[in-house]
Chain A
């Protein structure tokens, strides 16, 4: 799973770029599953699914649309877009975007963790 070290983040947003390139085949940081909140002069904050133990997002879903199997999965048949999952996540790990019908989140890039591979300062790292 992923661990974040926000003091190392420089705000370059390469993680957002590579995440969107991997999933969307285009550069769309606002469709990224990892987000850097960068509001000068404040320090950067990193938001993504950290595969936390409580899985409060799964519990929060009234439709049972979310499940966990290695990473968070969504059943699009069941999701109504209420976004209670987003509110329940303490890490800002669940993303939404106007052009998308359903919330989206880290899927580990099939275990490749592209953000980890590309982060120049190792502010996002993989831990066993």
Chain B
């Protein structure tokens, strides 16, 4: 049966775990043309169907896996898929994004999205085999790590199945549990814990349906041009292929934005032992997501020493930081082991490293004692990092509290620890110090899912771009920059393709991809596509406001507003957030409380 859509699969699968029922519904034209897919589609679903004030662990919470019209196609970086839900970390909107092959396989099984609600009475998995959908008992899989879960499913049902599953951390509702697909993750914000709360261990998908393309020849031509652009760009065709995401490590350290000791310092003394060249020694081969010529993934293996056998797709820049400089640890094998364990337990490695660094500062400041933790967890203690991950993943002993994330740990521990609990809206912070980049400061404060570097990434323009460098310390024009980049990134996360291609490509390419793949007229020009990004971001804002977000939540931890760094190129600086935030609300067409004005909503056709 040919779909009436090109690019899209045209259908959505709804699964009610409480009732044990599944249903296919058709994708609506209006939703596709105004919200594209992926994040935009999920925004419409959560806004329209999630009961206000629903607890993230309530069976009524929705878990939406969504691909987009570009997912699974020839568009470079099209191996991606998003998952969306109400986050247990923030109590607000969450979309997390994963590469690999899960999204493409979903499309080939004839699905643009999978909407899961309810809660199974015992552990289950969802098996989608083309037209057949089964809910199967997964009691044998409960407590299995994510790798064993993949092996079990592939052995039982076939190697071709693509899997997304949770580990023990998700089962035990660690608020930053991830969902793992092969060696990649829907990482941030705790979607794995929501999946665990539904007693859903895994989703396995296999499909044989073609994805139709509206204008195949034009589509191949624009893809070829994009491939050529990516191949000659120094990032996508150079550093990123050679070093993976670690390509920026030395630049970040030299700029003083690679945070050290839980954001207490800006320059890492261990850099000579922990940099992209040293990490590269552990790479054994290149790996790419479906449809990606950049192959920024590296397979690393520890071949000797106490962490022998650790094996990851990575380690990624963020995790090299979270278990490295953040914990003042320069031992690469321990970082690979840490990421390996996070993958097995299904933990977000950014938040996990953040929690451990925070605990280390608690020990340093004598807010916590050795008896609270069970061992002497000091900055630089690689074995302490590994022990902590096991405790968090299993939620054993003090790990029961640690699995709540830094915001809730600080609230429980008290004694002034809130002042160095580094998070925005409950989500722990990634690897860039806002005191060295006013852009990332505003991006963190205004991101819809809490401290996140992937809603807008001004770091590129402020600290890396060769052509269009903007001043990292100035607050001029940062509101406009962050707003427009957020809208662009949302279009990419709705299409769904990879953000790593956009530093070599532009909106023009995305529009050409969308138009040639779908043939939809409203995708024929940048002027028509760009408002979709703004529309989706405003809808997500309305969702967050409904869930209790206020202007006071659009902020940064005190450390960045009042504690200047004492070392490095950013020393002496703090963030003037208030001025930028005011401008940001203005350029967004929001009032002084951060609420979209009626005329802004009217212009975008919302709610």
Which residues of A does B touch, CB under 8 Å? 7, 10-14, 17-18, 20-21, 24-31, 37-41, 43, 97-99, 118, 120-121
Contact = CB atoms under 8 A, between A and B. Distances in A.
Interface in B220-275: 220, 227, 231
Interface string B278-302: 0000000111111111110101000
B607 interface: no
Interface string B287-330: 11111111101010000000000010100000000000000000
A87 B294 CA distance: 35
Q: Output the residue of A17, A18, A20, A30 with the most chain B CB within 10 A.
A: A17
A7 B220 CA distance: 27
Contacts of B289: 12
Interface stretch (B206-214, B397-405, B474-482, B485-493): B206-214
Given A11-B288, A28-B211, A41 B74 contact: no
A9 to B, nearest CB: 9
B447 interface: no
B220 A99 contact: no
15 contacts: A12-B292, A13-B291, A17-B291, A18-B74, A26-B211, A26-B213, A27-B72, A27-B210, A27-B212, A27-B213, A28-B211, A31-B210, A40-B182, A120-B227, A120-B294
Contacts of B313: 40
Nearest to A98: B208
Given A28-B108, A120-B227, 19 more contacts: A10-B287, A10-B288, A12-B288, A12-B292, A13-B101, A14-B292, A14-B293, A17-B73, A17-B291, A18-B220, A21-B220, A25-B216, A26-B211, A27-B73, A30-B108, A40-B182, A97-B208, A120-B295, A121-B286
Contacts of A14: 74, 291-293
B222 to A, nearest CB: 13
A39 B154 contact: yes
Contacts of B220: 18, 21
B482 to A, nearest CB: 32
Nearest to B79: A12
Q: Output the residue of A20, A97, A118 with the most chain B CB within 10 A.
A: A118
B159 interface: yes
A28 B210 contact: yes
Contacts of A10: 285-288, 295, 297
B150 interface: yes
Contacts of B292: 12, 14
Given A7-B285, A28-B210, A41 B293 contact: no
A45 B150 CA distance: 19
Nearest to A18: B74
A26 B295 contact: no
Contacts of B286: 10, 121
A17 B78 CA distance: 11
B595 interface: no
A28 B110 CA distance: 12
Contacts, number: 83
Nearest to A12: B288
A13 B290 contact: yes
B213 A12 contact: no
A99 B208 contact: yes
B604 interface: no
B213 A21 contact: yes
B133 interface: no
Contacts of B159: 37, 39
Interface string B76-115: 0000000000000000000000000100100010000000
Q: Output the residue of B72, B73, B104, B293 with the most chain A CB within 10 A.
A: B293
Interface in B145-178: 150, 154, 159
Given A12-B288, A41-B183, A43-B285, A24 B210 contact: yes
A99 B130 CA distance: 13
B291 A12 contact: yes
A16 B118 CA distance: 38
Q: Output the residue of A7, A31, A40, A97 with the most chain B CB within 10 A.
A: A40
A12 B290 contact: yes
A97 to B, nearest CB: 7
A120 B108 CA distance: 23
A41 B299 CA distance: 9
B44 to A, nearest CB: 25
Contacts of A25: 213, 216
A13 to B, nearest CB: 6
B514 to A, nearest CB: 15
Contacts of A120: 227, 231, 288, 293-295
Contacts of B210: 20, 24, 26-28, 31
Nearest to B237: A120
Given A12-B292, A12-B293, A17 B231 contact: no
B295 A12 contact: yes
Nearest to A20: B210
B74 A30 contact: no
Nearest to A118: B227
Interface in B346-360: none
Contacts of A38: 101
Contacts of B287: 10-11
Q: Output the residue of A11, A25, A27, A120 with the most chain B CB within 10 A.
A: A27
Q: Output the residue of B150, B291, B297 with the most chain A CB within 10 A.
A: B291
B295 A121 contact: yes
Nearest to B6: A26
A38 to B, nearest CB: 8
A41 B311 contact: yes
A121 B213 CA distance: 26
Q: Output the residue of B73, B154, B213, B286 with the most chain A CB within 10 A.
A: B286
B108 A40 contact: no
